[in-house]
Amino acid sequence: MVRRIEEVASRRLAAKFSDDNDSGARPPRGGTDPETTAEPTDSLLTRTPLTDLDEVQLLDTTLRDGEQMPGVSLTPGEKVDVARELDAAGVHLVEAGSACTSEGEREAIRRVADEDLDATVTSFARGVKRDVDHALDCGVDGVNLVVPASDKHVETKVGSTRDEVVETTVELVEYAKEHGLWVEVLGEDGSRADLDYLERLLGAGLDAGADRICYCDTVGAADPERTAEVVSRLADRGPTSLHTHDDLGFGLANVHAGLAAGADTVHGTVLGVGERAGNVALEEVAIALCESYDVDTV
């Protein structure tokens, strides 16, 4: 019986791949004669544009958010190697780490900053002045200033109020800009924040001189519809980035929704490494935008 199955399979494969055999060709769906089937044309492959932008910028956070994945720990030398490869690939911004973490982390960030990369090198900074000072001590080009946006983070995580967070954000943006830093303000847990407050908070950052703002789906709770709703409001205020996670499998879908709503920069990591289910994979973002929408990223 086994030999019989193998013989039948062999004959079928031979017929399928034979150059002079047309009898086994499967007709197209609907019974159309193969000879009259139209060849695909460029018009049939035309897609609805995702964004009016010719290029979307990429910010890689493998060296910071990616390293928060259990089991991932990079030496300073490894961080430099990764940063060099990212720069060679054309990534626009590299978040080299979190300068507030430790002196060892600051030394690693200094080494990346000393590489004289074409990419803008940044450090994560919480909404406290000493974090900005630590970043300045590392010689980075800029800071990703992360401030609480949802009431859960405002009240429970930092024990503050909405008004106090806005005031502190303005002060820190002004301080960082006075010291020559590029500044991005990220509304942490923005996908669960009150939208009016999120717009007020990040708008205040822009008014204080921030170079851009970022919509953060910190806990990976957002769907594409929510992402589009929020980003469309934020992008009306100024340059807007996207920071998505993949807890619900929506990381890349949320990126597409956010870009369609007006964002122009995407945060991600190599291979999607990151805490919990990970960040959106930067290489998937680049390939998807290029192949499906003819949008350059590098």
What is the DSSP pairing of strand 265-268 with strand 240-243?
A: parallel
Closest to 62 in 3D by CA, of 37, 38, 43, 81: 81
pLDDT of residue 118: 98
3-state SS assignment for residue 84: helix
Q: Per-residue pLDDT tens for 32-67?
A: 555 555 555 554 445 667 888 888 999 999 999 999
Q: Give the burial class of 198: count Cβ atoms within 10 A of its Cβ; 0-12 exposed, 13-18 middle, 19 or more buried.
A: buried
Residue type, 226: R
The answer to whether residues 297 and 286 touch, using CB atoms and an 8 Å cutoff, is yes
Angle between helix 224-235 and helix 195-207 axes, rounded to 10 deg:
40
24 phi and psi, to 5 degrees?
-90, 5
| C-alpha to C-alpha distance for 61 and 96, rounded to whole angstroms | 7
Please say if the pLDDT value at position 289 is more than 50: yes
Judged on CB neighbours under 10 Å (0-12, 13-18, 19+), 75 is exposed
Q: Which of 281, 288, 192, 286 is nearest to 245 (CA)?
A: 281
User: Could you give the domains of the chain?
Assistant: 57-293 (3.20.20.70)
Q: 20 φ, ψ to 5°?
A: -105, 20
Can you give the pLDDT at residue 10?
A: 54
Q: In whole angstroms, what is the distance from residue 292 CA to residue 204 CA?
A: 36
Question: Is it the case that residue 228 has pLDDT exceeding 80?
Answer: yes
**For the segment 74-123, what is each residue's pLDDT rounded down to a tens digit?**
999 999 999 999 999 999 999 999 999 999 999 999 999 999 999 999 99
Q: Is 90 exceeded by the pLDDT of residue 127?
A: yes
Spatial CA neighbour of 290 closest among 58, 43, 41, 42: 58
Percentage of the residues of the chain whose pLDDT score is greater than 90: 78
| Runs of H (alpha helix) within the chain | 2-17, 76-89, 103-113, 129-138, 151, 162-178, 195-207, 224-235, 251-260, 282-293
pLDDT tier, 2 (very low <50, low <70, confident <90, very high otherwise) = very low
**Distance between CA atoms of residues 215 and 186, nearest Å:** 6
SS (H, E, C) 18-37: CCCCCCCCCCCCCCCCHHHC
Name the pTM for this structure: 0.83
